[in-house]
Amino acid sequence: MGYNRPSMAAAKTVLICDDDQGMRDTIASILKRDYNVLTVPSGEAALALLKQEDVDLVLLDVKLPGISGFDVLRIVRENYNLIECIMISAISEIETAVQAMKHGAYHYVTKNFDYDELRSLVRNACERQDLNRQVITLSAQVAENGQREFLIGPNRKIRDIVDLVHKVARLP
């Protein structure tokens, strides 16, 4: 298991789970400047690490020895609902990508990815996670205050956030 720590104290933590050491090292080198990077070679190791570390994002190979990437994705979605997952595969199949998205992956990329594209995907996934945390916090505040409606002012961005909070609060 590899650890790379950037100088930023509040950096997000990214877990890379791939049985290919070269792929783990490549992705880690792309991300280590901006993120805390953890690496593991198997789904079992990823699940064990998730119990010990606060992870924000998992980059997860579809085909792993032992438990499959899709099984890990399912377990992450069931138990760590704020963790975003990006599935990675050497095979570019539409069916696999669709399956990944249906199972709750944030995105699906092939292993011949563009470095800047991967950085952008990771950044966007982390931003989505931040928004989800804000929605949960705001929903809890609204529920705690017993208020369904409150003054939000003329700011369009604030109204959009409040609308999103109300939509998420209605989800089962």
Q: Please give the single-letter amino acid code of residue 40.
A: V
User: Residue 57's domain spans which residues?
Assistant: 2-114
Q: Look at residue 8 in the predicted model and tell me its pLDDT.
A: 47
Please give the average pLDDT of every successive group of 10 residues along the chain, which has 172 residues: 52 94 95 95 97 95 93 94 90 80 87 88 87 76 56 65 77 59
Q: Look at residue 143 in the predicted model and tell me its pLDDT.
A: 65
Q: Look at residue 148 in the predicted model and tell me its pLDDT.
A: 44
DSSP letters spanning 26-83? HHHHHHTTTSEEEEESSHHHHHHHHHHS--SEEEEESS-SSS-HHHHHHHHHHH-TT-
Give Cα separations from 29 to 32, 49, 53, 57 (angstroms): 5, 20, 20, 16
Q: How far apart are CA 40 and CA 20, in angstroms?
A: 10
pTM value is 0.73
Two tokens, residue 6: 């950037």
Q: Is residue 59 part of a domain?
A: yes
Q: Look at residue 7 in the predicted model and tell me its pLDDT.
A: 44
Q: Is residue 34 part of a domain?
A: yes
Return the CATH number at 109: 3.40.50.2300
Q: Into how many domains does the chain fold? A: 1
Q: Look at residue 144 in the predicted model and tell me its pLDDT.
A: 59
